Amino acid sequence: MERPGHAVAALALTAAFTAMPAAASNTCAAAETQLFTCNTTNGKQVLLCDAGDTLHYTFGKPGRPPEMQLKVRREEASTWQWEGIGRAISYSINVPNGNTVYDVFWSVDRMTDEHEVQAGVNVEVNGRHVATVRCNADSVEQAMEGVDLKPAS
């Protein structure tokens, strides 16, 4: 469920987007490792790639110039890794951009027969949650388990 303030978040997201001249790619570059990708419920794509010294985060409509493309030094990003306890297996990677943090997340309820997947991006501005962009569960690919980043606080 999206939290209140979605309209404000959309404005914050739009203000933070950096238009890039190239069309959005559905995959990471050859030298990069894909950590996460999905198609969102609003027809856009999230892509997070590990390029060694940097992480690359892209958001936008497939086949069109990205609405946002970030290159973040590895030491600026952080991760939350499931510790083997609880009903939900979950992983996330926090990608900072000034006063905004894009928390790319994936989780699965291991205690139900359906094993429902929840995935997307939580957006925080100045430490306050302003939006959640949800992924279509059947489009999610993630490889965040064991990623070598500092632990999220």
| 15 pLDDT higher than 90 | no
Q: pLDDT tens-digit profile of 73-112?
A: 999 999 999 988 888 899 999 999 999 999 999 999 887 7
Sequence letter at residue 78 = S
Q: pLDDT tens-digit profile of 37-62?
A: 999 999 999 999 999 999 999 999 99
Q: Provide the percentage of residues in the chain whose pLDDT is more than 70.
A: 84
The pLDDT of 124-150, averaged and rounded, is 96
Q: pLDDT tens-digit profile of 80-89?
A: 999 888 888 9
* 8 Å CB contact between 58 and 69: yes
* 8 Å CB contact between 81 and 31: no
98: how many CB neighbours lie within 10 A of its CB?
8
Q: How far apart are CA 50 and CA 37, in angstroms?
A: 12
pLDDT for residue 40: 97
